[in-house]
Amino acid sequence: MTSLNVNIAGVMLKNPITTASGTFSARDSGAFYDINELGAAITKGVSNVPWDGNPTPRIAEAYGGMLNAVGLQNPGIDDFINNELPFLRKFDTKIVVNVVGKTINEYCEVAEKLSDAAIDMMEINISCPNIKEGGISFGANPVMAAKITKEIRSIARKPIIMKLTPNVTDITEIAKAVEAAGADGVSLINTLLGMKIDVYQKKPVLWNGMGGLSGPAIKPVAVRMVYQVRRAVSIPIIGLGGIMTGEDAAEFLMAGADAVSIGTAALVDPTAPVRIKNELIEFMEQNGYRNLRQIRDAML
């Protein structure tokens, strides 16, 4: 029998398929597939107070991908805990809450509140601009990344997965810094910073000018980073970036990921998480893998 179980930082996922932050809504995605099929639901970023995000247009299409500049719109942690979490809790899947902030204090405030909530893990999105340090993202600098990890780790009473940005010279440096600072895992990659110009309107397509590139276009960069980080740290890795098929998921697992997230694929095909799960099972059966560990070890 093929087993899909995987233990991420002490939390047992029944399968390695999770939803990439910002591309899943329990109510709306749940209209297309059964949320109970997910290994974990990773929510969109939640901050200490409600954020409005950016004006529209927030979405632009790119070759084999898309750009988004949603700007982390969310109703804030209190509203999340009161209104969204109870609905999510009805399902038999693990709940991972993506956390965002503009200062370390803001992250900590959310982490503190989530520690008492009925969730399983937190995913800390450190791609947000650090407004205290000139707006450079927390994840772009190993010292800052370590600092924020340490502070959150010291107050969070759930596992914390640090979500890394790919827009750095050396991702292994950041991964090693957050591991040393106590991260229980890392997830990678977030979006690549990109831009699209409408040459007829003579302006960027996105209101915000720049946005995050996601989708199959970025997969080779993501696979490379998962491969590098796997060889640099020993904590669990959630791999993502352009996964469209079960074969893609297997590629991330083989590169060293313990679990995977499905993002843009779910916007392009709303049933993608379940389809990819089934394709992964088929891949495992046809190629003689009985569990995920065997895929992960195939190339080590």
Partner 1 sequence: MIKKIIAAELIENKEIADKVYRMTMKAPQISESFCPGQFINVYLNDKSMLLPRPLSISSVCEDTVTLIYKVVGKGTRKIAAYCPGEVVRVSTSLGNGFRLEDVFNELGGNSKVIALVGGGMGVAPLIGLARMLIKEKKVRGLSDEVVQIIAVVGFYEEPILLEALEECCHRVYFATENGTEGFKGNVIQLIEQNDIRADYYMACGPKPMLRAIAGRCENTGISIQVSLEERMGCGYGACVGCVCKTREKGTSKTKLKKVCSDGPVFFGNEVVWDD
- Min. distance of Cβ 57 from ligand FMN in angstroms? 12
- Min. distance of Cβ 20 from partner 1 in angstroms? 10
- Burial (Cβ within 10 Å: 0-12, 13-18, ≥19) of residue 28: exposed
* Cα 211 to Cα 203: distance, rounded to the nearest angstrom: 14
Q: Tell me if 29 contacts partner 1 by CB under 8 A.
A: yes
- Min. distance of Cβ 207 from partner 1 in angstroms? 10
Task: List, as one string, the DSSP characters of 55-109.
Answer: PSP-EEEETTEEEE-----B--HHHIIIIIHHHHHTSSSEEEEEE--SSHHHHHH
Nearer to a second copy, 28 or 286 (CB): 286
Q: Classify the phi-psi angles of 64: left when phi > 0, otherwise alpha if psi is within -120 to 50, otherwise beta.
A: left
Q: Tell me if 277 contacts ligand FMN by CB under 6 A.
A: no
Residue 108 among the catalytic residues: no
Q: Tell me if 170 contacts partner 1 by CB under 8 A.
A: no
* Residue 73 binding: pick among ligand FMN, a second copy, partner 1, none (C-beta 5-8 Å cut-off by kind): partner 1
Those residues with Cβ within 8 angstroms of residue 257's Cβ, 6 or more apart along the chain or in another chain: 16, 226, 230, 237, 238, 239, 296
**Binding footprint of ligand FMN on the chain (CB under 6 A):** 20-23, 44-45, 68, 70, 72, 98, 125, 163, 190-191, 214-215, 218, 240-243, 263-265
**Residue ranges in contact with partner 1 by CB under 8 A:** 22-25, 27-29, 31-32, 44, 52-53, 55-61, 63-66, 68, 70, 73, 215-216, 264, 266-271
